[in-house]
Structures are given as structure tokens and as C-alpha cells.
């Protein structure tokens, strides 16, 4: 899971930065059909390198350009900055959903 955030107001949390930051994996919330649709969409924006602000080591990852926004529901953010109990809710291209 990667989170891209825009600059926010005075009530910003430490995680609200204008960067592209890795925040962990999402392991639930989609069907096989949805998974195939996501893969088909992401295959159109494959990148030879990661676009994260702070690079991470994921040798088996397929990197993509940040053209989509994923709606993710989660219970908490760990002290390491990773999402806890995350669930996929949807994918959109080009505009951030609220």
C-alpha cells in the first residue's frame, strides 16, 4: 500500500506529507474478479523503478506510476507508519476520493 497525500491544514498528522510513502500491504477487500481488474489497470502504468520518496527494498515488486488512488479502510497506523487491519474499498484513476 502506498499513500500519496497533499499538503494539509494546521490539524495535519505526522503522516500527512506531500510525498509518496509506503504504508504496508492490503490483504483483503476484493474478489478474484476485482483483483484481475486491478492488475489489468496497473499493467498499463508499469514503471522500471519505484517512485517512492523514501525507497524501500522489495525485490519482487512490480512498480507502477502513481496514476491511481486506492480507497483503503484501516483501524490504526503503527509506530512504524504502517496501516493496521487494512481493507481495500475501491480504485480510481486520476482524482483522489474523499
Query: pLDDT tens across 64-96, in order?
Result: 998 888 899 999 999 999 999 999 999 888 755
45: phi then psi, degrees, rounded to nearest 5: -130, 30
Q: Walk me through the domains of the chain, giving residue ranges and CATH numbers.
A: 2-93 (2.40.50.140)
The predicted pLDDT at position 8 comes to 38
Whether pLDDT at 6 is above 50: no
**pLDDT tens per residue, range 16-66:** 446 888 999 998 999 999 999 999 999 999 999 999 998 999 999 999 998
The predicted pLDDT at position 19 comes to 83
**CB-based contacts of 88: which residues, under 8 Å, 6+ apart?**
26, 28, 29, 30, 34, 70, 71, 72
Amino acid at each position: 500500500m502506498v499513500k500519496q497525500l497533499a499538503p494539509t491544514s494546521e490539524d495535519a498528522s505526522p503522516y500527512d506529507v506531500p510525498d509518496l510513502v509506503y504504508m504496508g500491504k492490503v490483504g483483503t477487500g476484493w474478489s478474484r474478479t476485482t483483483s484481475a481488474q486491478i492488475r489489468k489497470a496497473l499493467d498499463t502504468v508499469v514503471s522500471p523503478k519505484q517512485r517512492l520518496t523514501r525507497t524501500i527494498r522489495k525485490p519482487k515488486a512490480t512498480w507502477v506510476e502513481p496514476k491511481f488512488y486506492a480507497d483503503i479502510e484501516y483501524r490504526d497506523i503503527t509506530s512504524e507508519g504502517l496501516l493496521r487491519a487494512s481493507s481495500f474499498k475501491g480504485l480510481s484513476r486520476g482524482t483522489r476520493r474523499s
